[in-house]
Amino acid sequence: MTRGYASGTADIQNSTFEYSGTDGLYFTDTAGTIQSSTIRHNTVSNMYGLKVISGNLTVSGNTFQSNKNGLLAANGPHTISENQFLGNSGSAISFSNTGNAGTPTFSNNSASGNGVNGIEIGDLVDSYTFSGSLPYVKQNVNTTLVPSGKTFSADPGVIFKLDGVLWNIAGTLNVNGTSENPVIFTSFKDDTYGGDTNSDGTCDPGNASSTASCPAPGDWNSLFFNATSHGTFSNAIIRYGARCSLCGTGPSAAIKADGVALSISNSTIEKNKNHGLWLLNSATSTITHTTFRDHLLGFGAAESLGLLLNSARAILDNVSFINNFKGIVGDSNSSVEVGSGGVNFSGNTTDDSPATLVP
């Protein structure tokens, strides 16, 4: 057959769909289940083993193997769980919504040997909670991650792997990690969290013959909060951001907040190319039990800073600045208040500038 196509109700179990001339299976406006089946060798360019573009399907316990791409799920509250994605030459999974018909959710899926061993994020215009252990991937775009009036949340353990991405946040982003399962924002090349997502082997800087890529500061750009946004980070790790080639004039930061106060707790902001966190034109941000470290590379004439304040105020409590070119820098319209847990400096070329910034 050319491909299965259904609109209505699906009840598929223990079946095999293979060698299609287009998508292996294609559903629109369909409810039901696809489970314990094998979808394989559907290899036509830009096609998928399974494409679900609307409706409400449960896709569970299937094997997607050696297709071009594994699964595309869009525009419905589809449940995607406990599937295996093996050796698909493109992405394991892609998903999106373009309206309010619902958004797929993912749990306990596994991926290895695919071009992208993760879940590629397409357009998302409605509120969404990211969950599950397979990394979420976004590549080579400047886009609005959180539309105005919408809320995106990240559950414990969620990993975002980014490549050249500037994410504009106009709504609310709530990052809800735990100490055991932090939420990660990192480079697409970072194999440390979530395994070898970019499928070129595991970074091995000590092995001269290794062809696996390794992450570097500036692999992605910024989470950019504008004046209509809100942001909280709890138990987050944010690393390898602050690429400047995409940020217009001036320096960049892994997290940049213009005209809005952020709340950051129990987090690590590290190894970003320019600055870790840049607060400007904003009311009081609160940062507790958080470390800024290894901001050393800078960009052009710009210096590399853990935390930069421009016309901004921050309360710091139990905050450490370690091995940065400068730990914290503020202009004359900025101020810092220190809580009872104090601020710790170690290994920075300059701790705070001006030296009276941290009282």
* DSSP letters for 310-357: EEEEEEEEEEEEES-SEEEEE-TT-EEEE-TT-EEEES-SEEEESTTS
Smallest gap, in angstroms, from Cβ of residue 160 to Ca ion? 16
Minimum Å gap between C-beta 193 and Ca ion is: 12
CB of 194 to Ca ion, least distance (A): 10
**Which residues lie closer than 8 Å to 279 by C-beta, 6 or more apart?**
257, 261, 262, 285, 307, 308, 309, 310, 312, 314
For residue 354, whether the previous peptide bond is cis, meaning omega lies within 30 degrees of 0, is yes
Q: Which is nearer to Ca ion, 82 or 163 (CB)?
A: 163
Q: How far is the CB of 335 from Ca ion (least distance, A)?
A: 43
Cβ-based nearer residue to Ca ion, 4 or 215: 215
Binding residues for Ca ion, rule: CB under 5 A, are 191, 196, 198, 200, 212
Pick between residue 42 and residue 198 the one whose CB is nearest to Ca ion. Answer: 198
In the bound complex, what is the minimum distance in angstroms from residue 196's beta carbon to Ca ion? 4
Distances (CA, A) of 262 to 46, 172, 257: 40, 11, 7
Q: For Ca ion, give the closer residue by CB, 200 or 317.
A: 200
State the residue number with the nearest CB to Ca ion: 196
Quick one: 26 or 193, whose CB is closer to Ca ion?
A: 193
Instruction: Compute the least distance from the CB of residue 112 to Ca ion, in Å.
Output: 12
Q: Answer left, alpha or beta for residue 296, where phi above 0 means left and psi between -120 and 50 means alpha.
A: alpha
Q: Which of 191, 351 has the CB closer to Ca ion?
A: 191
CA 299 to chain centre: 23
Q: Which residue in the block uniquely carries the two structure tokens 């907040």?
A: 257
13: tokens are: 């179990």
